[in-house]
Amino acid sequence: MSTTQDNSLMGRMLIGGRLVEGNDGWLESINPATEGCSGRVPRGSERDVHDAVDAAAAAQPAWAALSVAERSGYLRKLADAMTARAGELLEIEVADTGNSITGMEGDISGCIDRLRYFAGLGHELQGNTIPEKSDKLNITVREPYGVVGRIVAFNHPLAMAAHGMASPLMAGNAVVLKPSEQCPLSATLLGEIANEVLPPGVLNIVTGDGMVGNALVRHPRVKRLSFVGSVRTGLAIQRSAAETAVKSISLELGGKNPFIVFPDAPVEKVAQAAVDGMNFIWQGQSCSSTSRLFVHDAIYDEVVRHVVARTEAIRIGDPFDRATRMGAINSRAHLARIEDYVEIGKAEGARLLTGGTRPTGSPFDRGFWYRPTVFANVEQDMRIAREEIFGPILSILRWSDIDHAVAMANSVEYGLTAAVWTSDIRNALNTARRIEAGYIWINGVNTQVRAVPFGGYKNSGTGRERGLEELYSYTEEKSLQIFL
């Protein structure tokens, strides 16, 4: 990456093995903590998308023809190259997202590990034999789709980019990646690194706004799409894609995730888990945040008191300071959305216990800052309990009947994650089985283990990622019948 006179970074797109600037000007990336310009990337066009898809389609047959071991070797080399420049990637991610350096370090190491994981998984991509008569042999083989489109969100830009290319590449596809226009810088550095390792055209990265995303979604040669983001955008992608071709689409969308606490749960551990599950380390900007805490009447007041104390202890500040536990909100528009929801919660009768304002003092004169916020006395029909805020707002609800608690948990359009805490394994498993969510923690929260499928029910998405199922999802199954 190059720098400009104001020391901001200049990224370029990767198309067909060339780092290009495009012809439609530049997008400016704003540092959420300072409001300064952290860098610029090309404002990609529909023409750039078509060029990237053409390059991917041209490169894909030779890439698919490589042995599993050869493709695996390329991914391992890419992981090694990213490791060598992990410090640069980390610095760019922190400046571009506003997330704390302590949180982002895990993102960098995690996405590199994910590349190595899928590099070792290729030999598990197997077909089947199906018995019939002795004069016929029926077998299936797995073949790549060809060109895969991947559109990622702003909250974990590099991690989602690396996760999104690992399995389709290992399966023999070529990839066209569209990073978030809000945090695109790390993807352009990833493009530079990949260009030194991967064959030209195997990975292409096109930066830009929604026009670029729509062009990728609608391209008839992109038969497999993956998107991480909001429900509204996911629905729009399904509609737009269906107008041009039949496509396979996986979606990881929003969440309004319940955390149900039984009266036998350890209060202090639950309170800490509730704070951890809210992902305040990401300013609450995580689709898996357990933003609805359902606490039994018997321990409600005590849990609330401990949650508030732990929330107020969270240190907000400079994302590059390793003592910081919560950075800046991603953008001015998103900060305004969070402020609106706080006012909505107060107007609906929820009790604001802590937060609910921007922090004060000279460190916060510039930037998009907001204090971690907790509401109590929340009712399920309130908007702050029904709608995904994607910010640092925890709603605490009260329950006394488990049937009612489960009904409230399931009453929203989302079904991504959930948590249950109790010492009674029967209560834990029975409740988990009744909750409509794709990923449920029991007596824990907020950990995602490699190879365990992740994805949502209902409007939280379709498809599963991060395991063997993801690798298979980037292939089509072909049946062969052989007459003997």
Nearest CA to 277 out of 294, 299, 264, 253 is that of 294
Q: How far apart are CA 34 and CA 360, in angstroms?
A: 15
Catalytic residue among 93, 181, 252, 470: 252
Q: Rounded to an integer, what distance in angstroms lies between the CA atom of residue 159 and that of residue 152?
A: 9
Strand 258-261 to 248-252 pairing: unpaired
Task: Find tokens 């350096």 and name the residue.
Answer: 101
Alpha carbon distances (Å) from 380 to 294, 390, 397, 417: 10, 17, 8, 17
Beta strands in 16-135 (DSSP E): 18-20, 26-30, 37-42, 129-130
User: Which tokens belong to 407?
Assistant: 């009904």
Residues 6+ apart with CB under 8 A from 480: 138, 139, 140, 141
Contacts of 43 (CB under 8 A, 6+ apart): 22, 24, 25, 26, 27, 207, 208, 209
Sheet strands side by side (includes 292-296): 351-354, 373-376, 393-399, 292-296, 258-261, 417-421, 439-442
Handedness of CA 347, 348, 352, 357 (dihedral sign): negative
Catalytically annotated residue among 287, 388, 465, 470? 287
Instruction: Judge whether 252 counts as a catalytic residue.
Output: yes
d(Cα 448, Cα 441) in Å, to the nearest integer? Answer: 10
- Helix, strand or coil, per DSSP, at residue 25: coil
Q: How many CB atoms lie within 10 A of CB 271?
A: 25
Q: How many CB atoms lie within 10 A of CB 186?
A: 32
CA distance linking residue 326 with residue 99, whole number of Å: 7
- CB-based burial of residue 413 (10 Å sphere; 0-12 exposed, 13-18 middle, 19+ buried)? middle
List the catalytic residues: 252, 287
